[in-house]
Amino acid sequence: MKLTVYPGNLHGSVHAPPSKSHTHRAYMLAALAEGTSRVQSPLFGEDTNATLDAVQALGAEVEVSGDTVTIRGGNLHAAADVIDCKNSGSSIRMLAGIAAGLAGKTAFTGDASLCKRPMRPLLSALEALGAKVEANNGCAPFSITGPAAGEEVAIQGDISSQFISALLLGAPLSPSGRTIRLTTELASRPYVNMTISAMKKHGVDVLETDDGFVVPAGQHYTPADGIVSGDYSSAAFILAAGALTGKVTVTGLEEHDPQGDKAVLDILARFGAKVSRTGDAVTVECGKLSGIEVDLSDAPDLFPIIAVVGCAAEGTTRLFGAAHLAFKESNRLQTTAAFLSAMGADIEATDDGCIIRGGRPLHGAEIETKGDHRIAMAGAVAALTAEGDTIIDDISCADVSYPAFVSDLQKLGGNTA
């Protein structure tokens, strides 16, 4: 569905959508736990719905009532039918780690984009632990036959944090526990921290070592109820719009949440925006923006929207540390540079980020999202500052993580058609 966005300023308050990352983990851990868990206020988006369907296919009992999902887990088994993870990398990777711990064969697939995303390092690690893997050139579709009962595995940490989370989540299914040794630095560490924190809530401890992690033997997941907190990754688009065009408040953002994309607050303040917090409410107001350098190795999903802010900042902005963005829903390094260049920005993609010579006025353009939700939302925010009309070729892809994005934009005064 196309969306036309007209220039304008945003003012007002909206509530952050529930965290996609927390929702994935809550569903999976509830399914692994022996008993009943209630997940309150989860994100009902395309990616998280794929995870919910998958845990049902693996044997969990699921009941949805309003904004509460009740999951009775603990007796998981290999899925009888192929699990379709649609466009969700989090789903297919972390569920693969769980499936490897189950007896029998589970097959996975996804849409055309997901079937191009790299899986080989994780699949090789699961094979090293004893699972049988049948894969299509290291990508989906693939099948995993478990159980994988190996005690130790080595894997690169700089390709995807989801690989490490997958190995951690499946570790308690092995009677011998698991040692995970990282052969490189760990990218996107906050996402692994989120996994470890969620596992602890369900009764499983993870120990950190000098070169990785250990999940001691003899642990079992226990049920736990929880409320899914607001998503800093999605809120970043609205907060950045405030930094560019007016003054906005986003509520529902817990101050001590381990989400890595909480870094957006510090980044916007460094650019020169006015950032303040009262409880779980964060307010961002536009100010005089100046170019900065930003290491996004722990918060790569912020790249498209921070690049938009960089275009409005006087001077040079350099974003780096996000080489693995080449393997997201689109090659976000290239896709971001392409749509901002089409709008008149002076931006150059690099191997791990971009260089922006900011302060040039943007103009309307037709933005090709490549089906990437973060490109669609970043493009809509950029359009607020551009001269003329901007057309987003497919705003519906924002439903993956922020189904209310357009309505929230309109609520704050955004003019769209």
The residues carrying an active-site annotation are 301
Structure tokens belonging to residue 136: 């299509």
123 vs 120: CA distance, rounded Å = 5
Q: How many CB atoms lie within 10 A of CB 184?
A: 11
Instruction: Look at the block and give the residue holding tokens 């089906």.
Output: 371
Residues 332/303, Cβ–Cβ less than 8 Å: yes
Asked if residue 197 lies in contact with residue 258, where contact means CB atoms within 8 angstroms, the answer is yes
Q: CA 39 to CA 35: how far, in whole Å?
A: 13
Please return the burial class of 283, using the count of CB atoms within 10 Å of its CB with bins 0-12, 13-18 and 19+.
middle
Residues 6+ apart with CB under 8 A from 62: 52, 55, 56, 69, 70, 71
Contact 322, 352 (CB under 8 A): yes
Residue type, 332: R
CA atoms of 411 and 381, how far apart (whole Å):
14
User: For residue 169, which of 119, 204, 207, 216 has the smallest C-alpha distance?
Assistant: 204
- Which phi and psi (to 5°) does residue 206 adopt? -120, 130
Pairing status of strand 139-146 against strand 132-136: antiparallel
Tokens 């996994």 found at = 195
CA distances from 393 to 87, 146, 365 (A): 18, 42, 10
Phi, psi of 267 (to 5 degrees): -65, -45
